[in-house]
């Protein structure tokens, strides 16, 4: 069961980049379970997934360790995780339950909690853009989704298995990457140029499933109409992840019957709250 945390209450409104703070620290990394047998079982889950979907690759991802919302904005502590840790810790509900139970005072410490991003992309003629996910993706195949992905540690020279020195400069670059990553995902998945996109505004976060994997929801407005977006999608870079676009009028979102990913559903819930 997913939950949605809004950043809109109390007159805050959507958060711009200047109202978000991140502290990146190795202390925010996932802690391995004490049971070697359990860790080996999680490794096998990844190996089995890779055998079925050999195009998947392991890479560094940011991990949410903690967050606090104040009247001034959002403050987060991040660590590093990997796509392998995400698949290994989140693929089976019984595994998640065990990891949460054995986490003691911090039931999330053994979970990946990789940071994701998602966009409510609104066209100039007031439609919200959805993608039909392909069956080649690692999670939620064939479901309707909004554009999204992850901020990438490697863009900051960070790797899952290498040490780094925490710094204020690195923290600021993490914030910039969080906001830039969702613009980059829209550009790559749908082929809409940055020049046609508004600066992203942070609406809230969807904590997906019992593993509470965070997906940060943004609003991005586009200067292109539906027909122009559809034409550009034909030449998008990441088309293996999706099979087609769908457009739903902004005014009719509440009546949509699409089967949505948790991050897409949370994104739309936050968009509806913003418009109410």
Instruction: Write out pLDDT tens, residues 31-69.
Output: 999 999 999 999 999 999 899 888 888 899 999 999 999
Asked whether 213 and 117 are in contact (CB, 8 A), the reply is no
Query: In 192-221, which positions are buried (b, 16+ CB within 10 angstroms) versus exposed (e)?
Result: beeebbeebbbbbbbbbeebbbbbbbbbbb
The burial of 250, by beta-carbon neighbours within 10 Å (0-12 exposed, 13-18 middle, 19 or more buried), is given as middle
138 — pLDDT class (breaks 50, 70, 90): low
Residues making up the chain, counted from first to last: 276
Contact indicator for 9, 213 with CB cutoff of 8 Å? no
**Beta carbons of 123 and 152 less than 8 angstroms apart:** no
Measured between alpha carbons, how far is 273 from 188 in angstroms, rounded to an integer?
28
Strands 201-208 and 3-6: antiparallel
For residue 187, count other CB atoms closer than 10 A to its CB: 19
Structure tokens at 232: 């550009």
Mean pLDDT of 5-30: 92
Q: Among the residues of the chain, which ranges form H helices?
A: 36-52, 83-90, 93-101, 168-190, 226-233, 262-275
Q: How far apart are CA 186 and CA 178, in angstroms?
A: 13
Residue-wise pLDDT for 66-98, tens only, equals 999 998 899 999 999 999 999 999 888 898 999
CA distance 272 to 266: 10
Query: Is 134 or 229 the better-scoring residue by pLDDT?
Result: 229
What is the predicted pLDDT for the residue at 1? 73
Percent helix, percent strand, percent coil in the chain, to nearest 5: 40, 30, 35
Across the chain, mean pLDDT equals 92
**Full 3-state SS string of 52-85:** HCCCCCCCEEEEEEEEEEECCEEEEEEEEEEHHH
Domains in the chain (CATH in brackets) are: 3-275 (3.90.79.10)
């Amino acid at each position: 069961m997913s939950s949605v945390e809004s950043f809109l209450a109390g007159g805050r409104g959507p958060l711009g980049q200047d109202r978000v703070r991140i502290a990146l620290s190795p202390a925010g990394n996932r802690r391995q379970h004490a049971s070697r047998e359990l860790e080996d079982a999680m490794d096998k889950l990844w190996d089995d997934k890779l055998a079925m979907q050999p195009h998947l690759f392991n890479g560094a991802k940011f991990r949410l360790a903690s967050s606090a919302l104040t009247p001034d904005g959002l403050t987060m502590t991040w660590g590093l995780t990997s796509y392998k840790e995400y698949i290994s810790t989140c693929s089976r509900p019984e595994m998640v339950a065990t990891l949460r139970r054995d986490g003691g005072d911090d039931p999330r410490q053994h979970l990946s909690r990789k940071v994701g991003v998602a966009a409510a992309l609104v066209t100039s003629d007031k439609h919200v853009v959805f993608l039909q996910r392909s069956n080649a993706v690692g999670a939620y195949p064939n479901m309707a989704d909004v554009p999204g992905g992850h901020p990438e540690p490697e863009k900051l020279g960070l790797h899952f298995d290498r040490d780094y020195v925490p710094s204020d400069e690195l923290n600021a670059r993490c914030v910039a990457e969080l906001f830039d990553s969702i613009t980059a995902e829209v550009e790559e998945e749908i082929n809409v140029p940055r020049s046609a996109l508004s600066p992203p505004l942070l609406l809230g976060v969807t904590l997906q499933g019992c593993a509470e994997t965070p997906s940060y929801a943004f609003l991005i407005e586009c200067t292109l109409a539906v027909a122009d977006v559809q034409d550009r999608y034909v030449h998008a870079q990441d088309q293996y992840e999706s099979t087609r676009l769908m457009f739903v009028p902004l005014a009719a979102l509440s009546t949509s019957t699409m089967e949505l990913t948790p991050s897409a559903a949370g994104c739309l819930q936050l968009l509806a709250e913003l418009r109410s």
